[in-house]
Every structure is written in structure tokens, then in C-alpha cells.
Chain A
Amino acid sequence: MGQTIIEKIFSKHAGKNVAANEIVIAEIDFCLGQDGTSGIVIDSFKKMNATRVFDSKKMAVIIDHSSPSPNSGVSAIHKKIRDFSLQQKLQFFDVGQGVCHQLVPERGFVVPGDLVVGADSHTCTYGALNVAATGMGSTDVAACAATGRNWFKVPESIKFICNGKLPKGVYSKDLILFLIGQVGADGATYMSCEYTGPAINNLSVDARFTISNMAIEMGAKFGLMECDKKTLDWVKKHSRKKFLCQSADPDAKYFRTLIFDVSKLEPQVAKPHQVDNVCPVREVAGTEIAQGFIGTCTNGRVEDFGIAAKILKGKKIKKGVRLIVAPASNWILKETMKKGYIDTLLDAGATLVTPGCGPCVGTHNGVPSDNENVISTANRNFKGRMGNPNAFIYLASPATVAASVITGKITDPRKHLK
């Protein structure tokens, strides 16, 4: 019988032909942790009586969630994971280098067909490169670090076929918000999502990352895409590792197949306090906002800042409104500076903060006040997510955020795109 993408990748890593719902022990190609999770990775690794990481080149530790450190409690955790990473000679990224899910693919650590485990739920981002990547907890990652393996249940798959072409002013963020709204926060629990169809093929790799990144917001374990020329060009530019792309067989078995025509899709937002609380921008247009945020592992890439800069060029952010921007890596910061995007955003009145996760996870760099509305390009709008349980977070595309900070109200970006 035919296999899905994930059945093929697990078959390769388990050394035998496997199908959905089987339990396998599989070899992993790479694992990672960040500063919010690596402290416990180290504790569990030591409690397992492990002394050396299975392969120091195959584990990354990234300080990104509270970076640079905002207080002494965080500094103590940073020191602990910095000392461990240096002692173990891991792929280590200290403060300011960027967000893990940008750095890991950007530095070429993962390639199509790989199996990757990260102590961060958005590890599924690399699925855009045909990488079977999934988030797990710290002790699971410690087991990977100690043994180079872990146990997995081979998941069933849901196929999302996206036909048509996204209209102008509508982006991959709008598409993934729409899909999450359709299936709900647990619509793909324990599943592997496969995104396919002409609308996906049309997207750049940057835009594809946004879609795979948010697979976890419907409970999924993986958010996979097949390889095409864009994937191959991107991977060859960033990595020297050998790889083998995996695609689904025509007779592969799916739990569910959903078909959408995206040609008439409008800009979307997720309203507080749930990611699946999705509606078209027009339904909440006019809602006052106090802060915008462009960045994160979802939408902090070069193309995202290009879109925002195009809308904000020659404009000013409304008085009394803040716009925080955080490029997802140091490399992206430099690229966006070269292209003039950062100049444009600063001229409009934006505040540039260190590449990292801070504002999204509420550690620092933009905690909202009580009763304030925030419009953000991040992937979660849970109560308290940005550091204040009395604030309200709306999720949208970089274009919608840029248009909204000009007016101070949630605004359809298509009005600002000629």
C-alpha cells in the first residue's frame, strides 16, 4: 500500500517499513533546545547518567526566548545552558543571534527527509523544507541527546489541498489562520499535516515556513510540504548536507483530505484568546490597537519586513501607538538593513529590538498594559502570552499589522497596497 510523507520518513529512520499508528524507535538527525527548555534538558540528561551528547554537531542550543537576559533569574539559566553547550561543544547560539526556528534551517543543520526533535513546540516549522520536525518536552529531548533516538507513534495524516492563487494583499499567514479556524485547535491532534496544491507551490520558502510553523496550533505533530525547485534552491544555498526528498504515494491513505479554493480568501485575524478564533479582518476592522508587533518564528523573515516596509514607506505610525519589530535572526537583520526595510520602518516610528522571541512570549521588549489591544504577527494569542493577562492579542499578517499601526485601528491592508 502507498505511504504518506511521514510514513516514508519514519520507515527510513526506523530501518523497516512502517505504517500509521505503529510505535517505532527511530534514529534522529538533529535535536535542539532553547533557553526556556534547555535547563530541564540538562537536568534530565544528567539524571539519565549521560555524560556526552550523542553527536555534538547534531544538537543546537539557542538562547532566544529572553535574550539578552532581562533579570538575574534568567541570567542564571543562561549561564547554566551556556556552560553546558560550550563544554559539550554543541552548535551554540548566544543572545542576539536569533530565533531557533530561523537559525536551525538558515545555518543548514536540517535538510529534506530528516527527522528532527526540538524542545520547542514550533519545531514543526522545518516541515516547509520536507523535514519531519516536531516539538517535544525537555526530558524527551534529553533522551535524544543521550541516545540519538526516541520513540514515536507514526501519525496518521491530514491532507490540505489548496487550489487557486492567493489574491493581492492576502498572504500565507492569512491562509494558515483560515485553515486553523476551519479545523480548530485540536483538529489535527497527533496528526501529520501535508500541505499541497498550487497555492502552496506559488509561495516562497519564507512564506511556507509561516504555514508549517502553525501546524501545532491545530494540535499537529508535523506540518509537511513536498520538495520543489524552490525548496531545492533554498536548501542548497544554506546547507552542504546530502539529502533525499520524500513525497507521498498517489495511493497513500489519509485520515482526512480537505480541499480549499483560496482565490477569494480575505485577510484574516485570530481574535483573543484562541488561535482558532478566526474571522476576516473586515469583521473586526476599526478595533482600536495600542501596539503592533512584527517578528517571531512565524513572520520575522526578510519577505515579511519587505511587505511591512512597502506599506509603511513614507507613512507615520499613529501617535500613541507603538510598533515593535524583531527580525528572526541576525542575518535577517543585516539583509533587511541592506534592502532599506529597517530604515523605512524606523522612519515610520518603529522600535527595533534584538532578534529573538521576547515580545511574543512576554519575557521583555514590549509587554502591553492592562486593557490594551495588540496586533501581532506571532502564532499565539493566549491570555497573558505577551506578559500581561489583562491585554488582548490579535494575530494577523505583517501587512495587516503594518496597515493597522498607521490608523491605530485594525485595518484591511489591501487599502494600503496600490
Chain B
Amino acid sequence: MIFQGKARRFSQDNDINTDYIISGRYKFKIQDPNELATHVMEDLDPGFFQRRQDGDFIVAGRNFGCGSSREQAPQAIKYARISAVMAKSFARIFYRNAFNIGLPLIECDTDQIKDGDELKLDLAKGVVTNITQNKDIKIKPLPPVMLSLLQDGGLVEHIKKHHGFNL
């Protein structure tokens, strides 16, 4: 799978929590993921949904997705048509949730990416190319479990296909 788009960074780099990704003000009352997506990252960066473009990447520092277990967080990112999230590290529950719904998360040295840089992600080759800065950034290989889930199209499809877990 190859994705291309612009890097989107925020005023806060580390510890971007799931309340910031999608606020409780919306997630408790809105069921439509397309509607939820219009509020993605709103408390941290008002107007983000209007400014981002289809295929963009969210880029951050350490511990992206910490806090609550809300699956609406990766869902809002996915339905905002963000290709993938790149960070130095991810919080545990968010990490599982993202792969369960088929949103790729990429662990790499994000210090080499500036806001607005044009990026190309080649998942099969395991490389992010920073087109703007003309350099390749190595990504941490996905654990086999996450790769299986992603290849099956998420956890729901995995369970359906194997009539249970086959990891």
C-alpha cells in the first residue's frame, strides 16, 4: 500500500490524548463517524478538519493517543480521510484500536518531518519518503499480529474470516 499527502503537526507534540482527537462533547452523542470526523482534533487545533486535505498524515512526537479507550478517536481520524498517523510512540489502547479498524500507525523518527512536508508512505517497503526534504525515513516494522489484522482488514473481518482468533 502506498499513500501520499502532507504532514500535519500540532502546537503540542507529545502526549496528544484521545480527548483532543475527539472530545467527549461530541463522542457521547454523535453516532455517525462522518459527522464525528468534522470535530477531529478540534480542542487542540480548531478548524483542523477544514484545513486538512484527503490523504494527509498526522505527525506527532511521543505517546500519541494516550488517555481514554474511545474507539471514536481512530475512527474520527480515519473518517477525516487521514492516510496514517506517524509518531515516535503510541499509547497501547489507541494502538490496538487503530489496527482493529484498519488505520495504519507508523512508528518512526518524526523529528525529520516538518509541518506541511510532502510525504510518501510505502508500507510494503517500510519506508517514509520526505519528498520536500528529499530523504527516506526508516519505519519500525509492524509486529506480525498487527500486520495480520491489517491484512485481514481489521479485527471484525479477522474474526469473520477465521471464526475466532487466528494470530
A residues with a Cβ closer than 8 A to B are: 23, 25, 35-37, 39-40, 44, 47-49, 65-66, 71, 73-74, 76-77, 118-121, 123, 135-140, 142-143, 146-147, 149-151, 153, 185-186, 189-190, 216, 219, 221, 274, 276, 361-363, 380, 382-385, 387, 389
Residue in chain B with minimal CB distance to A382:
B19
5 contacts between A and B (CB under 8 A): A36-B28, A37-B69, A40-B72, A121-B93, A219-B66
Residue in chain A with minimal CB distance to B30:
A73
Q: Are the C-beta atoms of B15 and A274 separated by less than 8 Å?
A: yes
Q: Which of A37, A149, A276 contacts B165 (CB 8 A)?
A: A149
Q: Are the C-beta atoms of A66 and B155 separated by less than 8 Å?
A: no
Nearest CB on B from A382, distance (A):
4
Nearest CB on A from B140, distance (A):
14
Q: Are the C-beta atoms of A65 and B28 separated by less than 8 Å?
A: yes
- A-B pairs, top 7 by smallest CB distance, nearest first, are A73-B29, A137-B97, A186-B63, A137-B71, A384-B43, A121-B69, A389-B43
CA distance A41 to B85 in the complex (A): 24
CA distance A40 to B31 in the complex (A): 9
Interfacial chain B residues near A363, Cβ < 8 Å: 24-25, 28
B residues with a Cβ closer than 8 A to A are: 15, 17, 19-20, 23-25, 27-31, 43-44, 62-63, 66-72, 74-75, 89, 91-93, 96-97, 100-101, 145, 154-156, 159-160, 164-165, 167
Q: Which of A77, A190, A382 contacts B29 (CB 8 A)?
A: A77
Q: Are the C-beta atoms of B23 and A384 separated by less than 8 Å?
A: yes
Q: Are the C-beta atoms of B29 and A71 separated by less than 8 Å?
A: yes
Q: Are the C-beta atoms of A137 and B100 separated by less than 8 Å?
A: yes
Residue in chain B with minimal CB distance to A363:
B28
Q: Which of A119, A150, A382 contacts B67 (CB 8 A)?
A: A382
Nearest CB on B from A374, distance (A):
15
Nearest CB on A from B69, distance (A):
4
Interfacial chain B residues near A382, Cβ < 8 Å: 17, 19-20, 67
Interfacial chain A residues near B30, Cβ < 8 Å: 73
CA distance A389 to B23 in the complex (A): 9
